[in-house]
Amino acid sequence: MEIVTTISLLGLGAAGVLCLARLFRPGSLADRIVALDTFLVISVMAIAVLSIRSNTDAFTPVLLVTALLAFVSTVTVAQYILRRGA
């Protein structure tokens, strides 16, 4: 199981780096928000893999808070973009 979690973490790390590169690259606000939301989802998945790897439920509150924060921030910015007309 350790090999699987290591491979998963490496893949998630690579995906996170690509999302951060897209986030800091010039582009539209919507593109950056999608990159940030994807990065937050990847972060939640990485925390879940770490929780599985350590065989503990201690990360569950962190998972819930991070997932809710990602959802609320994406909805808030989407409303901002909708009202702004961009």
Write the CATH number for 55: 1.10.287
Both tokens assigned to 65: 């808070």
Both tokens assigned to 22: 């897209």
Q: Residue 1 pLDDT > 90, yes or no?
A: no
Q: Which of 6-15, 53-62, 73-82 has the highest mean pLDDT?
A: 6-15
The phi, psi pair for 24, rounded to 5°, reads -90, -5
- The residue type at 14: A
Q: Residue 85 pLDDT > 80, yes or no?
A: no
Indicate the number of domains in the chain. Answer: 1
Q: Could you list the residue range(s) of the whole structural domain that residue 30 is in?
A: 2-84
Mean pLDDT across 12-26 = 93
Select the more confidently predicted residue: 82 or 20: 20
Segment 20-73, tens digit of pLDDT: 999 898 888 888 888 988 999 999 999 999 999 998 888 889 899 989 988 998
Structure confidence at residue 86 (pLDDT): 57
